[in-house]
């Protein structure tokens, strides 16, 4: 009789020990009774029926960080870019999170990937690369309703990286290089064109100035001839003196030349000059 009582007490103690549950802070546990949802244990000490009830799920109530892997996305203009994101979610309804979806983490990750492809697919390359805030806002709105059905709250979605693929980067670099070369060629051609124009304008201006100088010289020469002719008509003495002076200067140059050995000087320079111009002796 004593042994039976001891066994009974020991069994009760073991069952009571198994029925005691201490839920840590930051978690909530789901209890099922006979295979059906029974209760949610919040942080603290709880006692359950160890025979008919058991803890089937332990769910964190902390913010969950979901890293969305990098994936290839085709834009509206058929450019391939690489994009990845990170989502911050929180379980707000334990029952829905464990019974509404088999694995809410994997479900949310796939949902973010799918909607990210859809949003970027509606943009062209330049728009996708420069619209992170818009992508983030549209992505959060797209997954929020579905997440709520699973007992989740989407706190934030961030675009970690969005960039062209390797092949696309090479194509863009080649395009940029070709554009720089085109600009350089156009710049050089424009420089050569301006140089030719400036040279032509300089030659034209020089020719114009030279023509003006020749015109002025011709006018001055004509004026000098006119003045000399008038002076000769009035008084031939000045003309005779001028011609005699020029004649003497010419003879001096001839005598100073290294090729001249004998210089003949007329005895009467004035008479010679008068004879040259047809004057009387």
Same domain, 35 and 76: no
Tell whether 16 is covered by a domain.
yes
Cβ atoms 94, 133 nearer than 8 A: no
The pLDDT tens digits along the chain (281 residues) read 666 666 667 766 676 777 788 889 989 999 999 888 889 899 998 888 888 888 889 999 899 999 988 888 888 888 888 889 999 999 999 988 898 888 899 999 999 999 999 999 899 888 888 888 999 999 999 999 889 999 999 999 999 888 887 776 666 667 777 777 788 788 888 888 888 888 888 888 888 888 888 888 777 777 777 766 676 666 555 556 666 666 666 666 666 656 555 555 555 555 555 555 554 44
Q: What CATH number is attached to the domain comprising 127?
A: 3.30.479.30
* Number of domains the chain is built from: 3
Q: Is residue 118 part of a domain?
A: yes
Q: Does residue 260 lie within any of the structural domains?
A: no
Asked if residue 152 is part of any domain, the answer here is: yes
Structure tokens at 49: 């029926």
Whether 182 is in a domain gets the answer no
Say if 36 falls within a structural domain. Answer: yes
pTM over 0.85: no
Structural domain span for residue 114: 64-164
Q: Which residues partner with 59 through β-bridges?
A: 28
Q: Distance between CA atoms of 150 and 76, rounded to whole angstroms?
A: 32
């Amino acid at each position: 009789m004593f042994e039976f009582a001891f066994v009974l007490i020991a069994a009760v103690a073991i069952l009571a020990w198994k029925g005691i549950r201490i839920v840590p802070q930051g978690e909530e546990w789901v209890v099922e009774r006979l295979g059906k949802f029974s209760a949610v244990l919040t942080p603290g000490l709880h006692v359950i029926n160890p025979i008919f009830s058991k803890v089937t799920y332990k769910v964190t109530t902390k913010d969950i960080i979901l890293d969305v892997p990098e994936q290839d996305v085709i834009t509206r203009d058929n450019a391939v870019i690489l994009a990845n994101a990170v989502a911050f979610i929180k379980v707000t309804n334990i029952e829905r999170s464990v019974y509404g979806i088999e694995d809410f983490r994997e479900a949310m990750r796939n949902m973010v990937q799918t909607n990210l492809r859809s949003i970027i697919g509606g943009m062209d390359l330049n728009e996708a690369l420069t619209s992170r805030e818009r992508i983030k806002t549209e992505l959060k709105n797209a997954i929020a309703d579905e997440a709520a059905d699973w007992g989740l709250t989407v706190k934030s979605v961030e675009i970690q990286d969005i960039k062209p693929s390797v092949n696309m980067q090479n194509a863009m670099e080649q395009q940029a290089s070709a554009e720089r070369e085109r600009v350089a060629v156009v710049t050089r051609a424009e420089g050569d064109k301006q140089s030719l124009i400036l040279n032509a304008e300089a030659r034209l201006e020089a020719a114009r100035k030279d023509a003006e100088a020749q015109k002025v010289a011709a006018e001055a020469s004509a004026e000098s001839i006119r003045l000399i002719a008038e002076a000769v008509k009035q008084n031939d003495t000045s003309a005779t003196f001028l011609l005699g002076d020029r004649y003497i200067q010419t003879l001096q140059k001839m005598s100073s030349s290294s090729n001249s050995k004998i210089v003949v000087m007329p005895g009467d320079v004035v008479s010679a000059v008068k004879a040259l111009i047809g004057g009387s002796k």
